[in-house]
Each structure stands twice: as C-alpha cells, then as structure tokens.
C-alpha cells in the first residue's frame, strides 16, 4: 500500500503503537493475539484511552482512514517479516467494518498479493477460500500469510 | 514523552519482549498472556473455530 502512512513504534514483539493525526490526535494500538491454533494470530487494532484500555468499537471519524489502514498494513508487513510462518487473521468489529476491509483488500489486491497469500472465510458457508477480487462473496474474516 | 494511556498500557504488560519472542518462536503462549482486545479476540476465535481453516505451517522463526 504505497499510500501515506504514520510512523509507528513497536512496544513489544506483538504490540505496536502510532498516533493518528487527523482532525484530532488519536493514539492507536495494533496487537497480534494468540488464537486457539498454534501458528495463527488474531490481528486487532483500536483507540487507546487515558486509562490504558483499548476499544475497537469506537468510531473516531478522524478523516484519515486510508492513512490509518496504510499504517496497519505496514505494521503487518513488519511483523510478518519477523514471523513469516504465522497466519494472521482479522475481521471487523462490525459487519460494516468487515465490508470496509474487504473493499480495501479488493482495491489494493494486486499490491497485497505480491507479498501475501490472502484468503477469506465466506460468510454463508464458513469455508476458507483464496480471496478473489473479482468474486462477489461476502467474507466474515480474512487470513493472510507472507509468501515465503 | 509517554501519554497517560500509553504509560498505563505499558504498566499492564507483564511479559518482557524476550519472553514474548520465545512464545512466538514456539507458538505456545503462556495462559496468562494478557490479551489487549479480549472481545475482538473472542469474536475472531469464534469464526476461526467454526470455519474450515487449513492447517497452519509452523514453527515460526524470529528476526
């Protein structure tokens, strides 16, 4: 994603931080979390509040969604460069957000697919399939893995 | 300069980077590993457990 992005800091091997400087300054945290399967991590990101808690539900409407997403993509690239054997799963906190991620994946498919195998879990059948930017499937979740 | 939120977040982290790296290398996380987004993790795991996901390749290797 050769779009403008924010600089980020790696707080821990699985945890990253950056500041979204849209209409206001919002601190964001990206975290790779263990799943029930070895070799699979869940990706989540959200807004950091003053008490140190994080929400991925809040709608910050900061006017910089593409820049935020480009930053998350750069973080995923950094993490998977270190841990290429992991599959990274992500889904939206709402159906709308999952649809937004699908749109972004479609838009930048040719670029993403150079670095990653991209799969999706189809909403209706729960099947894992290769993500195809031409097909009309609705996805529940996305799975990416660095091409080795 | 750390913000209040970031300071609090850092205080909550009980595992060192070296310990987390070790977990990533083996793929086995300590059961008390603190998940920052428990709701998001639960949501993703629910889909993962129902879906027919192909076996992951492992072990991982760190930088």
Among A11, A36, A86, the residue with its CB nearest the CB of B48 is: A36
How many C-beta atoms lie closer than 10 Å to residue A4's C-beta?
10
Note the ipTM here: 0.83
Task: Tell me what pLDDT residue A107 has.
Answer: 86
pTM (predicted TM-score): 0.90
Q: Please check the confidence at residue B59 and state whether its pLDDT lies above 60.
A: no
Q: Which residues of B touch A90 (CB under 8 A)?
A: 44
At B35, the pLDDT band (50, 70, 90 cuts) reads confident
Q: Are A29 and B36 in contact (CB under 8 A)?
A: yes
Reported as type and span, the H/E element at residue B46 is: helix B38-50
Task: Tell me what pLDDT residue A79 has.
Answer: 96
State the Cα–Cα distance between residues B37 and A47, nearest whole angstrom: 11
Task: Tell me what pLDDT residue B61 has.
Answer: 54
Q: Which residues of A touch B23 (CB under 8 A)?
A: 34
Instruction: Please give the share of chain B, as a percent, with pLDDT higher than 70.
Output: 79
Q: Are A54 and A48 in contact (CB under 8 A)?
A: yes
| Strand pairing category for A139-146 and A116-122 | antiparallel
A140 touches chain B (CB under 8 A): yes
Among A33, A49, A128, the residue with its CB nearest the CB of B35 is: A33
Give the model confidence (pLDDT) of A45-73 as tens digits: 999 988 888 888 887 788 898 899 999 99
* Exposure class string for A6-24: b at 16+ Cβ within 10 A, else e: bebeebbbbbbbbbbeeee
Task: Tell me what pLDDT residue B54 has.
Answer: 64
Locate the chain B residue with the closest alpha carbon to A93: B40
B28 vs chain A: nearest CA distance in angstroms?
7
Among B36, B44, B56, the residue with its CB nearest the CB of A54 is: B36
Task: Tell me what pLDDT residue B40 has.
Answer: 86
State the Cα–Cα distance between residues A104 and A121, nearest whole angstrom: 16
Give the model confidence (pLDDT) of B38-52 as tens digits: 888 888 888 888 876
| Strand pairing category for A40-48 and A87-90 | parallel
A139 bridge partner residues: A122
Q: Which ranges of chain A have pLDDT less than 50?
A: none
């Amino acid at each position: 994603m050769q779009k403008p992005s924010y600089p980020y800091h790696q707080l821990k091997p699985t945890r990253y931080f950056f500041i979204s400087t849209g209409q206001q300054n919002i601190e964001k945290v990206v975290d790779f979390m263990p799943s029930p399967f070895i070799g699979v991590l869940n990706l989540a990101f959200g807004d950091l509040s003053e008490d140190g808690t994080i929400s991925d539900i809040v709608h910050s409407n900061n006017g910089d969604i593409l820049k935020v997403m480009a930053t998350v993509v750069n973080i995923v690239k950094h993490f998977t460069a270190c841990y290429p054997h992991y599959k990274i799963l992500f889904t939206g906190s709402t159906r709308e957000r999952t649809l937004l991620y699908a749109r972004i994946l479609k838009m930048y498919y040719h670029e993403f697919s150079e670095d990653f195998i991209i799969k999706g879990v189809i909403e209706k059948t729960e099947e894992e399939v290769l993500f195809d930017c031409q097909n009309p499937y609705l996805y529940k979740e996305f799975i990416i893995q660095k091409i080795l | 300069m750390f913000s209040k939120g970031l300071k609090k977040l850092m205080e909550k982290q009980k595992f060192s980077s070296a310990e987390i790296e070790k977990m990533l290398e083996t793929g086995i996380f300590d059961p008390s590993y603190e998940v920052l987004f428990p709701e998001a993790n639960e949501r993703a795991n629910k889909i993962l457990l129902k879906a027919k996901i192909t076996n992951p390749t492992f072990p991982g290797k760190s930088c």
